């Protein structure tokens, strides 16, 4: 018997395991479907592409996306200790003040920017030091790039030439502008949630970590969650929770776990022959993501990461520097598709190597991407079949709302303008993924055929009090006792930026809610990230 059973050892699950076991009288089981995070490719930042389709990847894809030439779009998600923080590009972005204030104003007290800033700071150990926006001494290592590949700076210089302002800190007073991203690394190695939150406390006597164990469903007595049924190598077992079950599976897996447990739409449960515990029509709905479009070139000069795996660079990596510490997307920034907007709705990532969506590159290359930060289109996740181990049906419904396509086309036009200016333009020698022209029809056609995910799915167990809400402002599943969801699925809207740091902040606050602790105080109110 445990006090808490945590389903999923991704970013949120690792944070909860750490914070809840600070109390030696609390017994916690952390259950992860994937393997331990021992693969070398996890810890070497530049090797991240090798994890795609591996045993550390849930390897999902969408149903045919109607506005993307009916393509099925690959959706990687981390399936290992640390979850997607063990397979992502390590970009440390919190989002915009407007994101969290919108959550609060939608009826979720305690989730505004001023409420969450102390949790971002409490989590953070930023090598730049502490100030009103940043913290030191927290578990999560945040650092500047150890690679600093020069071609990344060429993107920044060209963006400034195109009229974008320089921004040295996207998590400081303002978000808009271009510059170098900070990353979740320590000494050039990946600083995943597992590395930062879980491994330092793995030997606590009150923490049990189970890997290769897939949770089939939450167990109920009436409407109270009392544990989980899990399977490992064909053997089914139960883990009982005296206090709460905490579902931390992410935007795809958490709604699937709820449906498999009898929580969802009555007609869906009936079709699947799953006994209903609670009817919640919003389970799996409100799926949001950052649609992303790449421009790609081969380059004649040896300026990218292609061929970086050498003995010399391995030695540099061992010393915490060199090309193998690169997260790939070293530089980028934020912009608005219209001057009428109060906050950015576009984000750029510049990749300092050949982007390999079509297979391994045979030479040096570079890629630049634009993503839509504020999608109006929403999709869904459906439980596929009676067997809870099957992959879910996922449709993001990218560009279902025409305004999303309009904004993305404007962002693509901005990005192409940046890449056409020196000093970057002189390296964009052979196009391998660009529009056929700069007219409206060509840009729209390219968006349809080139859109991918930026790996930021959210919203499928939405927080709120309305009819489509799944959890309340304390992340408790409506209509149940002893059950919470703690991950990106509770976000009412996707934040403006990479989502790992926001998930960690959500979990930090959830730990206080679960323990009944008073929220930290921000001190002097910061102006916010505009």
Contact in structure between 368 and 419 (CB atoms under 8 Å): yes
Which of 32, 42, 96 shows the shortest CA–CA distance to 502?
96
Q: Closest by alpha carbon to 500, among 280, 246, 184?
A: 184
Q: Is the peptide bond before 284 cis (omega within 30 degrees of 0)?
A: no
| Structural tokens at position 24 | 């030696």
What DSSP letter does each residue of 447-477 carry, written as one string? HHHH-EE-S--B-TT-BSSSTT--B-TT-BB
Residues 6+ apart with CB under 8 A from 196: 14, 139, 140, 141, 184, 186
393 with 60: CB under 8 angstroms?
no
The secondary structure of residue 111, as a DSSP letter, is -
Dist. CA 100–CA 79, nearest whole Å: 28
Q: 134, 364, 456, 478: which one is catalytic?
A: 456
Give dist(CA 478, CA 360) in Å, integer: 47
* Cα–Cα distances in angstroms (integers) from residue 317 to residues 43, 71, 209, 304, 320, in the given order: 11, 38, 30, 17, 5
Catalytic, 456? Answer yes
Question: With contact defined as beta carbons under 8 Å apart, do 13 and 79 qualify?
Answer: no
The 3-class SS string of 327-373 reads: CCEEEEEEECCCCCCCCCCEEEEEECCCCCCCCCCCCCEEEEEEEEC
Spatial distance between the Cα atoms of 436 and 450, rounded to a whole number of angstroms: 12
> 3-class DSSP state for residue 115?
helix
Residue 302, token pair as written in the block? 């040896």
Determine phi and psi for 127, rounding to 5 degrees.
-65, -15
What tokens were used for 381? 């996740």
Q: How big is the CA angle at 513 (ends 231 and 480), to the nearest 5 degrees?
A: 55
Question: Smallest Cα–Cα separation from 379: which of 489, 478, 485?
Answer: 489
What does the alpha-carbon distance between residue 180 and residue 188 come to, in Å, rounded to a whole number? Answer: 15
Q: Any residues with CB less than 8 A from the CB of 339 and at least 6 apart, and which?
A: none
Read off φ and ψ for residue 374, nearest 5 degrees.
-125, 65
What is the helix (H) or strand (E) element at residue 198, kind and residue range?
Answer: none
Residues marked active site are found at: 456
């Amino acid at each position: 018997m445990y006090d808490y059973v945590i389903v999923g050892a991704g970013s949120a699950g690792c944070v909860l395991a750490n914070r809840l076991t600070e109390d030696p009288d609390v017994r916690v089981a952390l259950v992860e479907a994937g393997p331990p995070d021992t693969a070398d490719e996890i810890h070497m930042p530049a090797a991240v592409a090798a994890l795609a389709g591996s045993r550390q990847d849930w390897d999902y894809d969408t149903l045919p996306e109607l506005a993307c030439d009916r393509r099925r779009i690959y959706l990687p998600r981390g399936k290992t200790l640390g979850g997607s923080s063990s397979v992502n590009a390590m970009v440390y972005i919190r989002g915009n003040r407007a994101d969290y204030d919108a959550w609060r104003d939608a009826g979720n007290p305690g989730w505004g920017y001023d409420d969450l800033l102390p949790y971002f700071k409490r989590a953070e150990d930023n090598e730049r030091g502490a100030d009103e926006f940043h913290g030191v001494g927290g578990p999560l290592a945040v650092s500047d790039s150890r690679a600093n590949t020069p071609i990344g700076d060429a993107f920044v210089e060209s963006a400034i030439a195109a009229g974008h302002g320089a921004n040295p800190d996207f998590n400081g007073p303002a978000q808009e502008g271009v510059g170098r991203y900070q990353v979740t690394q320590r000494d050039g190695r990946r600083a995943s949630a597992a590395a930062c939150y879980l491994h330092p406390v793995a030997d606590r006597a009150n923490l049990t970590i189970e890997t290769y164990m897939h949770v089939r469903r939450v167990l109920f007595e009436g409407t109270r969650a009392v544990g989980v049924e899990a399977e490992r190598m064909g053997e089914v077992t139960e883990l009982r929770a005296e206090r709460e079950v905490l579902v931390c599976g992410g935007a795809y897996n958490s709604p699937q776990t709820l449906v498999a447990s009898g929580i969802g739409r009555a007609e869906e449960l009936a079709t699947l022959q799953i006994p209903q515990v609670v009817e919640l029509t919003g389970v799996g709905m409100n799926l949001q993501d950052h649609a992303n479009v790449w421009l790609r070139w081969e380059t004649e000069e040896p300026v990218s990461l292609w061929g970086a795996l050498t003995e010399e660079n391995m030695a540099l990596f061992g010393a915490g520097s060199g090309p193998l510490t690169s997260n790939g997307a070293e530089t980028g920034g934020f912009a608005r598709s219209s001057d009428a907007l109060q906050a950015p709705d576009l984000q750029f990532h510049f990749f300092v190597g050949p982007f390999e969506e079509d297979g391994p590159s045979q030479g040096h290359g570079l890629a630049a991407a634009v993503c839509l930060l504020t999608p109006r289109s929403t999709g869904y996740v459906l439980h596929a079949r009676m067997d809870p181990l099957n992959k879910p049906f996922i449709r993001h419904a990218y560009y279902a709302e025409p305004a999303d396509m309009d904004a993305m086309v404007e962002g693509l036009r901005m990005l192409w303008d940046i890449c056409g200016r020196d000093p970057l333009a002189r390296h964009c020698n052979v196009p391998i993924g660009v529009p056929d022209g700069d007219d409206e029809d060509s840009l729209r056609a390219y968006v349809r055929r080139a859109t991918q995910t930026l790996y930021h799915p959210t919203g499928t167990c939405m927080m709120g009090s309305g009819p489509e809400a799944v959890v309340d402002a304390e992340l408790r599943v409506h209509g149940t006792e002893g059950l919470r969801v703690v991950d990106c699925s509770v976000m009412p809207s996707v934040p403006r930026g990479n989502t790992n740091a926001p998930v960690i902040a959500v979990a930090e606050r959830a730990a206080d809610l679960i323990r009944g602790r008073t929220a930290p105080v921000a001190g002097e109110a910061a102006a916010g990230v505009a």
